[in-house]
Chain A
Amino acid sequence: MKLFIFLLVLLSVSCAPDKPKTTEEYPDLTKSAPEAVITDPTKGIGAVKNVTLKTPIEQERVSRGLAIYEMKCSACHKLDETRIVGPGWKGVTKSRKPEWIMNMITNVEVMLDNDAEAQKLLELCLTRMPNQNVSIGDARDILEFMRKNDGEK
């Protein structure tokens, strides 16, 4: 099975047109290539492999996460269940793994092209989530704010 997925990925990669090297405009982690082997699809695709959550939640991260949310996310995501442009955030930490959430934030182009769950959301919302150039550290803060929004203490 693993081999099969590997071949499938290889095939899709080799079908895609070769982009000129100079278009690699973001040499940082926000645009990592699809991995050859997706070990755990529920974690999404991207640089974030393993997130350790602490209890109680980290308040410093929560306040930083809130500030980033208000600047870069709130135009499309409400904090309750309402979907406006994108889905509301209520309950997102219960239904998605932390790694999946952070990969969706930091590696959105690849996720929308290759991750089955992300593609389902695109079919629902019909607007591609924009790359808001959020760093991995900032995405971690947003995740903590989401945990707080979901009632974690």
Chain B
Amino acid sequence: MKILTRHALTLAIIGLGTAMFSCAPKGPKEAVTGGAASKVYVAPGQYDEFYNIVSGGFNGQIGIYGLPSGRLFRIIPVFSQFPENGYGYSEESKPMLNTSHGYVPWDDLHHIALSVTNGTHDGRWAFANANNTPRVARVDLKTFHTTEIIELPNSGGNHSSPFITENSEYVVAGTRFSIPIGDKTDVPISSYKQNFKGTISFISVDKTSGNMNIAFQLLTPGVNFDLARAGKGPSGGWFFFSCYNTEQAYTLLEVNASQKDKDFIMAVNWKKAEEYIKAGKGKKVKAKYAHNVLDEKTSMTTSTMMEEVLQLDPTELKDVVYFIPCPKSPHGCDTDPTGEFIVGSGKLAALIPVFSFTKIQQAIANNDFEGEFGGIPVIKYESALQGEVKKPGLGPLHTEFDDAGNAYTSFFVSSEIVKWNVKTLEVIDRIPTYYSIGHLCVPGGPTAKPWGKYVIAYNKITKDRYLPTGPELTQSAQLYDISGEKMQLLLDFPTVGEPHYAEAIPASLIQPNSVKFYKIEENAHPYAAKGEKEARVERKGNQVHVYMTAIRSHLTPDNIEGVKVGDDVYFHVTNLEQDWDVPHGFAIKGASNAEILVMPGETQTLKWKPLSTGVFPFYCTDFCSALHQEMQGYIRVSPAGSGVPLKFSTGKVETEATGGN
């Protein structure tokens, strides 16, 4: 009897185990089927088909990967200092990280928006948001440099950003945290309902230069803005924002912001807002925010502190902003390629509502409202709804689209991607991710012209997928083939930072425009030495400016004397090379900031403050030639007030000196 019981127990345990395994995502051996390796193999010397431009989350950077190989090509520092190349440390780039709070050398970069023309990728710029100290950055895809950062005033944290309109007219910036704004900001936290406001900034993008400017801000009731998408085609003049915490909770949001059955998608008629701005309905208010722009000709970044911003109050204008109820704290808010359908993803919901732009317009025309929230009309849920995707999975987050009328939604709680048809709202296929997917990306997925072919999952947990590296594990992405009816897992690849949103774009839209070097003739840096003849050292009070040149394989000047303790020494290094892929580096002993990398034809400046006397070596850090190890020099530092004269040379051999003093 005992034996029988034991057997039964064993069987039960086996049964239970089997059941558990069949619920959990299948192991890699089952998931990866034949042909996966050949589909991601990019032979040595061959190129990937797509660039994958991936947010770095808490590292404040952007990672550039190739698809389908998953190879990492570049890390672009955006909101974070980067000692590897001196970004945020060099005198030229420091102003890029200036804000109204002073120098903020870090941020939390969540989302990417690639520039579009007629709703289609044009390969010009990538925009990215700073979630912490609210900012939007623009990266030039010719140089892969961060060329502009604008701060957002009256924002508590820029999460709902930097989504873009179909001709790159605007990128938006919606605050995640509502806060008290204006003159009265020192108020009790418990006065949230009364004093806290949300803002959505519409940042205009200059068609030629790409330069950003806050065109206007919409004032909104105090809620949390999460994500957004512009309309396109018929809905091109509109923008859609998901918002949660319509409970207006200010503590234990986990519980208190999850009370209501429905929160909102906020629909904004931005064309109408533009009309009101033109008609002078905007109100100028005082606001302090930094606007930082890189001039590629001088390599210098200028930071300007702005003084005011134009605001529109939609409660006064009535026909600019509408709320649409959306179940359970909506997160993703995505418009399909036709612009007719808006997909809301309640992160606590077990269904996906799909709204119709046509129905929204009809509801507005018919005054089909269920009431108001904070002075803004609320459209009836049923009036705006096209239909619901039933039982798609648990915890829908984000939706991307392919070029064949299908949608791909990520499910965080059930760790899967679900493919469904936008017209029929029927689930077609589902595939596990490893593990806990957040954002996902189909090349061109948010545009009017998806390129299709792949979906990439950006996962929050990797657990047992990679060799362990202590308690902190690699972050990762997974590549799936979507060319057939069934999705197929092809590849896991590690990512730097924590990937949130990403976009993928055909290499052919970027590769031909890539800058290879800067023309030395066009270098307009005020401290450039355009040729060794211009290399020199100048003293201005306690500032010593070294106009230095670098070429394979020497620095000029490479012997400098007459520098004193207490001086500020500026090494302005000009790379005289005029060929692709020949950067030079510059580093000096005891530098408390970083090294700098100088691209061919460019000038970069490292500030160095000697604290003690002695002879300090400096050298090139980027292996440049067979004689790279010879690319070095010395600087002599004498005591403050010493009479050692300023002198500098290269290649000059003197008779042995008898001593400094």
Contacts and interface: CB of A to CB of B under 8 A. Distances in A.
A23 to B, nearest CB: 9
B532 A127 contact: no
A75 interface: yes
B132 interface: no
Contact of A71 (B511, B516, B576, B579): B576
B625 A75 contact: no
A75 B553 contact: no
B578 A75 contact: no
Nearest to B550: A75
Interface in B516-561: 516-517, 519-521, 530-534, 549, 551-554, 556
B551 A130 contact: yes
Contacts of A20: 45-47
Nearest to A78: B651
Given A85-B554, A127-B552, A127-B627, A132 B577 contact: yes
B21 interface: no
Nearest to B626: A126
Given A76-B551, A127-B627, A130-B577, 9 more contacts: A20-B47, A72-B520, A75-B531, A75-B532, A75-B551, A84-B651, A85-B554, A131-B579, A134-B578
Interface in B96-150: none
Contacts of A75: 531-532, 549, 551, 554, 556, 576
Contacts of A133: 517, 519, 578-579
Interface of A: 17, 19-20, 22, 25, 70-72, 74-76, 84-85, 126-128, 130-134
A7 B520 CA distance: 41
Interface in B228-259: none
Tell me what chain A mostly uses at the interface: helix, strand, loop, or mixed.
loop
Contacts of B520: 71-72
B373 interface: no
B532 A85 contact: no
Contacts of B293: none
Contacts of B651: 84
Contacts of B556: 75
B549 A130 contact: no
B625 A128 contact: yes
A83 to B, nearest CB: 12
Nearest to A75: B551
A85 B553 contact: yes
21 contacts: A17-B45, A19-B45, A20-B46, A22-B512, A71-B521, A71-B576, A72-B531, A75-B551, A76-B551, A85-B552, A126-B626, A126-B627, A127-B625, A127-B627, A128-B625, A130-B578, A130-B579, A131-B579, A132-B579, A133-B517, A133-B579
Nearest to B46: A20
Contacts of A71: 520-521, 530-531, 576
A128 B553 CA distance: 11
Shortest 3 CB-CB distances between A and B: which pairs? Answer: A71-B531, A70-B531, A133-B578
B551 A25 contact: no
A130 B582 contact: yes
A30 to B, nearest CB: 10
B46 A132 contact: no
Given A75-B531, A133-B517, A22 B47 contact: yes
A22 B506 CA distance: 14
Nearest to A131: B579
B41 interface: no
B580 interface: yes
A127 B627 CA distance: 8
Interface in B607-643: 625-627
B577 A25 contact: no
Contacts of B576: 71-72, 75
B557 to A, nearest CB: 12
Question: Chain A CB within 10 Å — which of B517, B531, B577 has the most?
Answer: B531
A17 B46 CA distance: 12
A153 B199 CA distance: 74
Nearest to B625: A127
Interface in B141-170: none
A131 B46 contact: no
Interface string B260-272: 0000000000000
Nearest to A70: B531
B550 to A, nearest CB: 9
Nearest to A138: B521
A100 B626 CA distance: 26
